[in-house]
Amino acid sequence: MKYIHPKQYKNAIIKFIKNAFLYYLLPDSSYLKHRYKEVFNVPLNLANPQKFSEKIQWLKLHDRKPIYHKLVDKAEVKPIIAEIIGEEYIIKTIAVWDKFEDIDLSKLPNQFILKCTHDSASVSICLDKSTFDLSKHTWKYAKQHLNDDYYHFENKQWAYKGLKGRIIAEEYLEDDKYDSLADYKLYCFNGEARCVYVTINRFTNLRVNIYDMEWNRMPFDHIHPSTTEIIDKPKNLVLMKQLAEKIAKFIDNPYVRVDFYEVKGKVYFGEVTFYPEGGMGYFDPPEWDYTFGSWIDLKRGAK
């Protein structure tokens, strides 16, 4: 039997108590103030928020529509969005499972995508089912991602509170230019799409740029450093803007991010996000945190 020093028990108990206090017992507003100071080294102003990062924290506390729980669930959101913009923009769902052990490869096509319905990082791509070893993904889904809690442990993102972790299989869509699908994330303020945060080569060599709606580079970094590489304007940018604003106006809140893909000239809806990076993502230069904040009218998000 392996010997464990009493200090290790003591440290484990202290850590457990600290985590229980921070993540479960501390009121959301107190936790967010603690976390914000930890990230930005300045106090969080909830009484009169000015910055984008501050207003996202305010929205977590005060903008709590029950439909948000469905809108951030990658399976539940699809029929809602299909009603708003049309079924033709929705990526086909092949299956949804509650448990990893329920996945039956024999019933899946040769190519598909696996991911969890309640998080943002659990993606597995199958390009050839004959060489896809599902067992290699057991820990990733069954032990890690299915237990992720984006409310308690990821900056109190209220929309994810109470969401049950499931696994969804989707139709595989292939990008003919980049290593993975270019992801066009439209930032919508008070129902208007004002900029696009675009990522390419997500799984190999991530590149990020931010453009206005005329596809002019915006002079700042946000969350990830930008690249000097020129990312081509999507052919359907105008359509993406129209669709994003339809969705944003349906949601009717101060801020939402609506993501799309463009594959062989066709637009597909990706997801809806209310708190990118939990609202804890940096701006460089930091003045843009205030600029984005000025675009959010919190009167639209009051209880």
The answer to whether residue 2 scores a pLDDT higher than 70 is: no
Backbone φ and ψ of 50, nearest 5°: -120, -35
Q: Look at 25 and 187; give whichever has higher pLDDT.
A: 187
Q: Look at 100 and 30; give whichever has higher pLDDT.
A: 30
Distance of CA 218 to the CA centre of its chain: 21
The answer to whether residue 3 scores a pLDDT higher than 60 is: no
Q: Look at 147 and 50; give whichever has higher pLDDT.
A: 50
Show the beta-strand stretches assigned E in 145-222.
Answer: 167-171, 183-189, 192-200, 207-212, 221-222
Q: Look at 15 and 293; give whichever has higher pLDDT.
A: 293
**pLDDT for res 11:** 52
User: Across the chain, what does the average pLDDT equal?
Assistant: 88
Least confident among 108-112, 164-168, 181-185, 227-231: 227-231
Distance of CA 265 to the CA centre of its chain: 24
What confidence tens digit (pLDDT) does each residue in 125-169 have?
Answer: 899 999 988 887 765 665 677 778 888 888 999 999 999 989 999
For residue 185, what are the contacts with CB-CB under 8 A and spacing of at least 6?
196, 197, 198, 199, 257, 258, 259, 270, 273, 276
**pLDDT for res 140:** 66
Distance of CA 282 to the CA centre of its chain: 16
**pLDDT for res 198:** 95
* Tokens encoding 68: 């948000």
Q: How confident is the model at residue 37 (pLDDT cuts 50, 70, 90)?
A: very high
* Tokens encoding 175: 């990008």
